[in-house]
Chains A and B, each alone.
Chain A
Amino acid sequence: RKEVEQDPGPFNVPEGATVAFNCTYSNSASQSFFWYRQDCRKEPKLLMSVYSSGNEDGRFTAQLNRASQYISLLIRDSKLSDSATYLCVVNSGDGQNFVFGPGTRLSVLP
């Protein structure tokens, strides 16, 4: 089993839609969780951290379920500019570095 797995995608949604991405991780000792966004031919950039209590940043909501080792990202009222690949990131069990998932590609269509 891979350390971090994500919905394979791609997701093609109309503007204004709500879309959710799922991510599972295998290492129960992981403590830090993030969502990164990567635009085509650009470097990944931090979108948001994921806290145990769940957190929201505008149209974006992240949730963590430690028991199920599951992370989610919800995007409401999708914009064309949300089109990108979304990477789930989990710190390794020894806390020394991050492990990236394969990413889920989102295309928001007019």
Chain B
Amino acid sequence: EAGVAQSPRYKIIEKRQSVAFWCNPISGHATLYWYQQILGQGPKLLIQFQNNGVVDDSQLPKDRFSAERLKGVDSTLKIQPAKLEDSAVYLCASSLRDRGPPSYGYTFGSGTRLTVV
């Protein structure tokens, strides 16, 4: 079974520029999550999708961050404009269950490491 695919692996941008990250979940997984992990901290949930609908985006900074999952498969996370404090690793995960995380945990993609200078 192929894992969660993310791209790009690394991105360096200047502050106030825009950036987009892509995630392709495990085939058939209904639920998709985007996490932000700042250096030295645990991952923090940004947004959770069930199919193409948003379940939880309470911690997404909506003035600059947006995410979509139009066909209920791939997802894109965008930051516009970026700030220095957005430097982090952006992790995508998916789960088979149609609501909530599975009892066995879930699998992360390898992440996109963003550096804002």
Q: Residues on A close to B: CB < 8 A?
A: 4, 32, 34, 36, 41-46, 49, 87, 89, 91, 95-103
Q: Residues on B close to A: CB < 8 A?
A: 33, 35, 40-45, 48, 55-56, 91, 99-101, 103-111, 113
Bound Cα distance from A49 to B91, whole angstroms: 21
With A36-B105, A98-B106 already in contact, 15 other A-B pairs whose C-beta atoms are closer than 8 Å: A32-B101, A43-B91, A46-B105, A46-B106, A49-B103, A89-B105, A91-B100, A91-B101, A95-B100, A96-B101, A97-B48, A97-B100, A99-B45, A102-B40, A103-B42
Q: Give chain A nearest CB distance to B91 CB in angstroms.
A: 6
Contact of A43 among B33, B44, B48, B108 (CB under 8 A): B108
Is A97 a contact of B105 with CB atoms below 8 Å? no
Is A34 a contact of B100 with CB atoms below 8 Å? no
Is A43 a contact of B111 with CB atoms below 8 Å? yes
Contacts of A101 on B, CB cut-off 8 Å? Answer: 42
Q: Give chain A nearest CB distance to B69 CB in angstroms.
A: 15
Contacts of B48 on A, CB cut-off 8 Å? Answer: 96-97
Is B110 a contact of A97 with CB atoms below 8 Å? no
Contacts of B33 on A, CB cut-off 8 Å? Answer: 97
Contacts of B43 on A, CB cut-off 8 Å? Answer: 44, 87, 100
Bound Cα distance from A97 to B54, whole angstroms: 13
Contacts known (A91-B101, A96-B48, A97-B101); A45 close to B108, Cβ less than 8 A: yes
Bound Cα distance from A105 to B106, whole angstroms: 21
Is A49 a contact of B105 with CB atoms below 8 Å? yes
Contacts of A96 on B, CB cut-off 8 Å? Answer: 48, 55-56, 99-101
Q: Give chain B nearest CB distance to A107 CB in angstroms.
A: 15
Contacts of B56 on A, CB cut-off 8 Å? Answer: 96-97
Is A100 a contact of B44 with CB atoms below 8 Å? yes
